[in-house]
Structures are given as structure tokens and as C-alpha cells.
Structure 1
Amino acid sequence: MAAQWSVVERIRLITALQDCEDQLAVLGHVMPNVGMGHLEMLEQRNGVAQQYQAEEAGLAKQELRSQKESNLNPENKPDSLAEVEYDRHFVAQVITNLLRELRETGTFHSLLSTIEEEKKRKAHIRDFIIREEEGRRKTKTLQRQLLDIRKEKVLDLQRRDEMIAHLKDQLQETKARTDLEMTYVTKNSELQLYQEQKLNSVKDKDLEAEIKRLHEKLEEERRSRIEMERFLKDDQLALGEKLEMWMERYEKDIEEKQQELTTLKNNRASNLARLQELAKQYRESEQVVIADRLEKENLRREREKEEMEWTAAIKVQSWWRGAMVRQGLGPYKKAKKPKAKESKKGKKKKK
């Protein structure tokens, strides 16, 4: 960058910048005095080219604080003269730094860096202000939402109060109804208790009468049991006598039946021998009958066979005779008729 400027051009540029610096100094003496707050702001911005990175956050906060104070107090807002004074002081500081750099190195990097830093600072402040405005808008939105929520809560509380009042009314009605029901149940229970006592007294009398009747019946049953025992004893003696009589009769009958059994056994032996003899005769007769039946069966089969052969022969003869008649064979052959010539001649004449 130093090679681009000649000595004469650099001197001319330095002279022009010194002239501008002097004019700005004169302008600073001519302008009226400004507030202390703005002078402090100017003093803070004198070293912006060297200390911008370290003081960027503090400057932004001070700008925001000063803007808030100016918004809250309209009397403290800076006027156009204060802004001109700030710009004059800033330009004078930049020109001073640029003259120093031109005299020392012949370059103007400080001017470019100061301009870039000032742009960045203003952009940062602008972004900070935009974020603050967005925060305010969000705060207002949240406040409106909070008001809506409060309204909803108030309405909800009112509805709940109404519901509580309604439930209290229902509770009072329920208590009154419960008291009436309890009174009714108590009176009904007392009445039922009185009725039960009456019924129990009647039942007690009935039970006493029943107990008395059962005692009388028990006494009667006891007398009946004694009479029954006496009767059963007498009956047992009579049955004992009858048993002895029947035992004697039983033994006698056993002897008689034993004799009859012996007689039957003897008869059975004789009958068995007779039966065996009859069985032998039956078997012999049965063999004779079977042989006779076989002979008769053979004769019957022979007769049936002869009858079948005779019937078949008759059928064959009948069929053969019918066939000869139909075919005209043998004695059933038909004789040929002679042809008449005269009849033929007569037919020709007619034609």
C-alpha cells in the first residue's frame, strides 16, 4: 500500500487531513456544550479502533440502557447537536489516527479497520435492538396469553364456585332427605319392634300351650308303651308255644319228605333205565325213518327227473313239428299249382 503513494501525494493527503482536523476542532469549539451523558459516550468511543473487541458487549449494553432511559424520560433524549458532536468527535479521532499512520508507515489500514469495526458495532447494536424488540413483542404476547389464562381461570373459578354452591344445595337437600328417612326408619323400626313383641307374646302363649299338650301326649305315649310291652310279652309267650309246636311238626314233615325222597330216587333209577331203553329204541327207529326218507327222496328225485325229461321231449317234439309246418318240410310240404295258359292269352288280348 505504501508503494502506491508518492511523497508529494502523501504530503498533500496529510495536509488535507490536517486541514479537516483543524476545521473539526474549530467546529467543536464553536458548537454549544452538550449533556454529560453524551460526552461520556464520546469518550468511550474514542478508542473504538483499539478496544472494540473487549468493550463490544459493554457498549451495546450502554446503548440499550441509554435508549431505555431516553424512552422512559423524553426530556433526556439527545438532539441533533449531540449527534453532530458525536460524529464530529468520531471523525476527528479517525483522522488523527489516520494522520499518525500516514506519517509513520504511509498506509491507511486504521481507517479501513475503524470503518469495519464501526459497521460491526452498529450491526451488533442493531441486532441487539431487534432481539430486544422481539423480546418485547413476545413479552406482550405472553402478557396477553397470561391475561387470557387469568380470565379462563377466573371463569373456571366462577364455574367451580357455582358448582360448589350447587353441590352445597344438593348436600342440604340430601341431609334433609336423610333426616326424614332416618325419622321414618326409626318410627317404622319402633312400630315393627312393638309388633314383634306382640307376636312374640302370642307365640309364647302358643308355645306354652303346645308344651302342655306335648307333656300330656308324652304321658299318654308312656302309658301306651307300657301296655304295648305287656301285650308283646304275652304275644311272645304265645309265639314260643307255637314255635315249639311248629318245630315238632317240622321234624315230622322232614321224616315224611325223606321217605318220599327215597321212594322218588328209587323210581328215578327205574325210570332212568326205562328211559335208556326207550332212547335206544328211538335211535334205532330214527335210523329206519332216516333210511326210509332217503329212499323216498331218491324216488321223488327220479320221478321229477323223468317228468322233466318227458316234458322236455314233448317240448322238443312240439318245436320240431312247428318248425316243419312253418318251413313246409316232410309231410307238411306244400304242392305246386299248375299254370293256366288260357288265362295268359286272354290277358294279352285285353292289352
Structure 2
Amino acid sequence: MKMSLSRIQSLSLAAVLKDCSDQLDIVGYTLTVQIGREQSTAESQEKARLTKLRRDCQYISQQVSKLYLELEEKQSFSSLLQVVEEEEQRREEENKRREAMRELEQRKHTVMRLDEEIIQKNKKLKDMDQQLRDLEQQLTEQSSQIAKEKKLEEKTIERELQKTQLETMQTEKLLEDKLELVQVKLKEEKRVHEESEKFLQNRHKELQQLLQQWQQSTKQMLQEKEQQLNSVSCKRTVNLDRLTEMRRKFREMEQVVMEDREEQEKLRQQQAEVKAATKLQAWWRGCMVRRGLGSFKKAEEGKKGKKKKKEGKKKKK
């Protein structure tokens, strides 16, 4: 599944991943220096742990670099999903291998225990066989002794022979009973082993089903997280677009307000200039009228002539 991102998102994520890759390189170098300082044998476990941690850092750094290149070139992160799937497969195979090794180890211990029990039982049988041989040897000695004393004590020898044969039969019967008991015990142990093996197989199937359920739930959670990431990315893109549009409108409104202020300032200045000019003209006209300057001087002289003529006519009367 290929997940595409916008150019801005891919560049942002690529910058973050580049920083993470640099930090991982620094951590790897620090671990290398620290591993070089671990010289004593008592700190071998710590050195092994640091070596494993350094390998993990190098692996993560490589995957981050691949993801960085993919985001920068293709604006997607499909390699990350592929790495996650490979890691899940590797863990599943590792768990299967460990389970198989554990089961094999258990079977091995069971077989070894059965072998030890069989060896002990064989040893007991050998001891019984040795006792039987000793008895046979004793019987042979007794038979030779009876042969020497046959002529003298035939009846006694016959009785001894009968007694010896009876003891031999009892011994053989005892050995047969013990052998049958051993065979019964072996059959019982074999049955217990088969039941244990069947139980382990059933348990293995149950664990496999549980593992599949966990894998399905993990995949479902991963899909939900991807959907949430996509929705958050879409909302972030929409919010960025809205913010850009609002900034543009704000700049336009601010420009309109500034232009309106400038126009009002110009209008106010023009009104002030007109008012000042009107006042100045009124003041100047008053000065001209009071002093009789310019056109106002002729008008004043005409008025004075008319006044003189009126006064002359009044005197003639």
C-alpha cells in the first residue's frame, strides 16, 4: 500500500527524519567509543549489550535514510510499511523457531530421561542375569557335588535337585514377573509421553491461533492509526489553506483601511486648507475694506462724492 503526501508534508517529514538520522549517527559513534573503552572481561555482557544497541542504531539509521530519500523523491513512505511487515514476519518466524526449539528441547529432555530410565532398567536386568548366572553356577557346583555323592545319597540328591529346580523355576518366574512389570511401566510411560505430546500439540495450535488474533488486532490498530494520520494531515492542510486565505483577506482589509485612512487624512487636510483659505480671504477682504484698498477704494470715493452733492443741495434750499 502506497501512501502519498503533499510536497510540504513530505519535506517537513524529510527534515525531521534527517535530524533523527544525524542524532542516530551521533549515538552510534558514542556507543562505538564506549565499546572501545570496555576492556575488562567482567564487562563482556555490557559490551555485548552496547554492540547490539549500536547495530540496532545503524539499522534504524539506514531505514530512516531510505525513508528520507523516498519522502524527498516520491512523497510516500511505503518503505516504512514494508519494513514493519518484514519485521513482523521476522518476529513470527523467530517465535516459531523458538517454539520449535523449545519443543525439541523438551522432547530431547524427555527422551534422555527415558533413555536413563531404560539404562537403569537394563542395568537391573543385567544384575538379575548375573544373579541367575550365579545361581546356575551354584546349581552346577551342586550338581557336581551331587554326582560325586550320587551313589551314597541318591535320594538326598534327588530331593536337592527337586528343590533346586523348584527354586530355579521360582527365580525364572520372578524374573518373568519383573520383566512384565518393566514392560508395563514402559507402556505406561509411552502412553504418558504420547498424551504429553498430544497436549503440547494442542497447546501449540492454541498459541498459533492466539498469535494470529494478536496479528490481526495489530494490523487493525495500524490501519486505524494510518486513517487517523491521514485525517489529521487532511485537516492540517485544510487549516493551512484557511489560514492562508484569512491572512490574504486580512492583508486586503488592512490595505483598504490604510487607504481609507489616507483618504480621510487627505480630505481632512483639504477641508482644513479650505477653511484656512476662507478665513484668510475674509481677513484680507476686511483689511481691504477697512483701509479702502484696491476696488474698495473707488467705491468709497463714489460714496463720498454722493454725500457732498446731497449736502450742497441742502444748503441751496
TM-score above 0.5, yes or no: no
Q: TM-score range by the shorter chain?
A: 0.3 to 0.5
- Bigger CA radius of gyration: 1
More RCO (CA 8 Å, sep 6+): 1
